[in-house]
Amino acid sequence: MRIARRELVAVLVLAVSIGFPVSSGAVDVDDYVIRKSVFQDIKISPDGTYYAASVPLPDRTAVAILRREDLKVTASFSIGKHKHVVDFDWANDNRLLMSTAEKIGAMDVPRWIGDIIATNADGGKTEVLVGQSVDVMSTGTRISGKQTEMVAAFLVDPLPHDEKNVVISVSPFSRDPYSRAEIMHVDTGRRNVLARAPVQNGRFTTDNTGAVRVVRGFGVDNANKLYLRDGRNAEWLMINDEALTGRIMSPLGFSEDNRILYLQVQHDSGPDSIVAMDVESGDRTELLRDDDVSPHRIIYRAHTRIPVGAFFQDGKPRTAFFDVASPEARQYRSLEEVFPGQNVLVTSSTRDDRYALVEVSSDQNPGDFYLFDAVEKKADLVISRREWFYADEMATMRPVSLAARDGLRLHGYLTVPHGSNGKNLPLVVMPHGGPFGIFDRWGFDEEVQLLAAAGYGVLQVNFRGSGNHGRAFQQAGAREWGGKMQDDLTDATRWVIEQGFADRNRICMYGHSYGAYATMMGLAREPDLYKCGIGSIGVYDLPMLYTAGDLRRGSDRTYVTEWIGERDKLAEVSPTNMADRIRVPVLLAAGGEDLRAPVAHTELMERRLRAAGVPVESLYFRTEGHGFYNEANRREYYTKLLAFLSRHIGGKTAGASTSN
C-alpha cells in the first residue's frame, strides 16, 4: 500500500514532497502553515468504482475523481482563483455534486457562493445546476434551460434511493431571507418547490421518504424557532420557540418508520441531550446525555439520515450510541480497537456496505484515510493528508481542567513540545476566536504544532461563552467581553504557573479575531502576567461594531447587542481605551480588506499604543481579508511572529525551508 499511496499523491498533481527536520535552532514555517495538505476530504462512490477528493491548491480548492482500481484520474475540476469546492457528495454512481465558496483568509470561515455544480465521473456534463453562476460559468460557457436567479443553494438530502434527484435549500441574497426547499434533477437542474420556510434563515430536514418535514430558523429577534409538519403539503406547526422555552431544539433526523423525530435539546443547566420525540403524541424520551459535554457530531446509519449515536469531545473524542445494536455501533467499536488512541470517523461507504472510507487522526496525526473491507476484515492505508509529518515527532495535547475564581469548571488543552518533560515551559496562551459557541478541541492544529516546534507550550482554554458545555455555560459569556471571560483566561494562566508547567517570566498571549481582543485586554488588565502580546485580525474598538464591519443584518445587530453589549457601554471594555495600561511589547497584524474586523481597529490600536509609549510592531497586508491567504504573506507573518516571540520569551526562529 505504500506504493499505492505515493501514486495517489502523484496523480493529485500537487507539488508536495517529503520534508525533513530543519536544524535544531530553527523551524521550517513552510511545513506547518504554507505547504498544503495532499487533500482535504475523500469520498467513495456508492458502487465503489471511484474516489472523489478535494485538493487544496495555492489559490483554490479543486476536486479530482479517481478510479479506485488503478488510481487513474478520470476527471478534475476547479472554478478559478480564490474559489473553493467546500463540500461534495455522490448523487449516484456516476454524478458528483459540489458546493462552492469564496474563502478570503486562512482563518476565515468560507463565504459560500451558494452554487451547486455537477460533473460526471469522466468529467462530462460539468454544469452549474443552481446558484448565482448558473448563467455563466467561470469559463464563460453559456448554460441554457435552467432558472437564472441570484440565489444561494445548499444540499439538504442526496436522496440515496433516488438516482436522479436531490433535495436542496434555496435562498435569495437578502438580509435574513426566507428559504424554500426544492427537488432538483441532478442531470438537468430542473427544480420544483417542495416547501417554503415559515421562518427566516430556515434550514430544512427531510424524513426517510424525502419529504420535507422540519425547519429551524430565526428572525431579527435571534430567537430560534422549530416547525414540524405531518407530511408533504401539510401545514407547519411550531413545536419550539426559544423566546418562550429558553432553549434551542435542533432536528437530527427521523427513525426508519418516520414516527420518531430525533432532536438535540438544550437545558437550563448542563450539556445538551439527544431526545426522541413521538411526532403524533409529542411525547419525548431522553436517549443520550453526558455529564459535562454536548453531542459534538452525530453518527448516522449508513446511507440514511437516521441517527444512532454521537461523538463527544470530552478531553479526547469518544463515541456513544443509543442504538447499541446498530451495525454502526459494532463497526466503530471494532475500528476503535484497531486504532487505539486515535479519532476514528467513517466518512463514506459503498451501497452494499462492503467498503468504507475511514479517517484516522489525532493531536499528532493530521489524518490518514483507510479503506475498510467488511468482507476481508482488513483496513488498507489509502493516503495521508501530510506525509511529511511523523506522528511520533509531533507535540501532544494534554486535556486540562481547572476551577475559575467563581468556581466554574473550565476545560482546555496544554500542548507540550516533543521531547519536553512539560515543566517550566516558555508558554503561549492562545484564546480562540468566535468567541461564542466556538471551542478548542483535541486534534491536529498546524499553528499550535508550529509554536510547539519552536519550543513553546501552548495553552488553549474554553472560557465561558465557548461551546460544547451546554446553554448555561455559553450564556455565561454574554456581555462578558473584557469581564469574566477575560478572568477565565487569567485564572488558567495562573493555574499553569502554579502547576509548574510554565515559566512565569516567559509567557506571551496570542490570538486571532476575538482572541486578539482578549490578548490586548489581557495585557491591559494583567500587566505583570504576560511578557508580550500578539493580535491578529483583531477587534479592539467595540463601539465600532455598530458602525463598521459585516454585521449588517437585523439579526446581526440583535446578536451584537445581546451578546457583546449596548453601544454606549462598550468603550470601557475596549483595548483602544486601555493602551496606557499596557507595558509589554506588542505585535499587530491585519488585512486591509477585512470585513469582519476592519483594519481601522488595528490602525487605531497601533496609534494608541504608540502614543502611550508601548513598543509596537505591525504588519498590514492590504489585499488580505479576515486572515492571511497569500503564501508569501503567510510566510512573512509567521516568520515575524516567531522572531517576535523569540526575542521576548526565547524560542526558535524561522529557518530556510527544506521543502521542494
Q: Are 580 and 529 in contact (CB under 8 A)?
A: no
Q: Which domain holds residue 620?
A: 395-654
- Length of the chain, please? 660
Is 252 part of any domain? no
What the block records as the C-alpha cell of 584 is 509589554
pLDDT confidence of residue 147: 67
Percent of the chain with pLDDT over 90: 78
C-alpha cell at 563: 451578546
In a domain, 251, yes or no: no
List the one residue out of 245, 267, 249, 241 whose CA is nearest residue 205. 249
Q: Across all residues in the chain, what is the average pLDDT? A: 90
In a domain, 76, yes or no: no
The C-alpha atoms of residue 563 and residue 567 are separated, in whole angstroms, by 12
Q: What is the DSSP letter of 469?
A: S
**Total structural domains in the chain?**
1
Secondary element (H or E) of residue 211: none
Choice among 11-20, 152-161, 280-289, 609-618 with the minimum mean pLDDT: 11-20
Query: Which range, of 135-149, 290-304, 305-319, 638-652, averages the lowest pLDDT?
Result: 135-149
All three cell numbers of 241, joined, read 420557540
Full strand arrangement of the beta sheet holding 203-206: 203-206, 212-218, 224-228, 237-241
Q: Does any domain span residue 560?
A: yes
Averaged pLDDT for residues 131-160: 70
Q: Which residues of 279-315 are buried (b: 16+ CB within 10 A; e: fewer)?
A: beeeeeeebbbbebbbbbebbbbbeebbbbbbbbbbb
Q: What is the rounded CA–CA span in Å between residue 436 and residue 465?
A: 5
Q: What CA–CA distance (Å, rounded) separates 272 from 250?
A: 10
C-alpha angle with apex 232: 229 to 233, nearest 5 degrees? 85
Backbone angles phi, psi at 556, to 5 degrees: -65, -45
Whole-angstrom Cα distance, residue 290 to residue 314? 9
Give residue 22's pLDDT band: very low, low, confident or very high (50, 70, 90).
very low
β-pairing, 111-120 vs 95-102, is: antiparallel
* Helix ranges, 460-598 (H): 471-475, 484-498, 514-525, 554-559
Alpha carbons 467 and 437: distance in angstroms, whole number: 4
Type of residue numbered 127: E
The closest alpha carbon to 177, from 555, 623, 578, belongs to: 555
Task: Please compute the mean of the pLDDT values over residues 512-522 and round it to a whole number.
Answer: 97
- pLDDT, tens digit (0-9, with 9 covering 90-100), for 45-83: 999 999 999 998 877 888 999 999 998 999 998 887 778
| More confidently predicted of 556 and 413 | 413
Q: In degrees rounded to 5, what are phi and psi of residue 57? A: -115, 170
**Model confidence over 380-436: pLDDT tens digits?**
999 999 989 999 999 999 999 999 999 999 999 999 999 999 999 999 999 999 999
The answer to the question of residue 598 being in a domain is: yes
**Contact at 8 Å (CB) between 574 and 604?**
no
Question: Partners of 416 in the beta sheet?
Answer: 396
Residue 470 has pLDDT above 50, yes or no: yes
**CA-CA distances (angstroms) from residue 109 to 31, 103, 276, 533, 656?**
23, 7, 32, 24, 30
Residues facing 95 on adjacent strands? 120
Q: Is residue 13 part of a domain?
A: no
pLDDT at 360 over 90: yes
3-state class of 28 per DSSP?
A: coil
Mean pLDDT of 22-42: 83
Does 140 have pLDDT greater than 70? no
Is 564:542 a contact under the CB 8 Å cutoff? Answer: yes
Q: Is residue 47 part of a domain?
A: no
CATH code of the domain containing 492: 3.40.50.1820
Q: Which residues contact 293 (CB under 8 A, 6 or more apart)?
A: 271, 312, 313, 314, 468, 469
Q: Residues 472, 292: contact at Cβ < 8 Å?
A: no
Kindly state whether residue 133 falls inside one of the protein's structural domains.
no
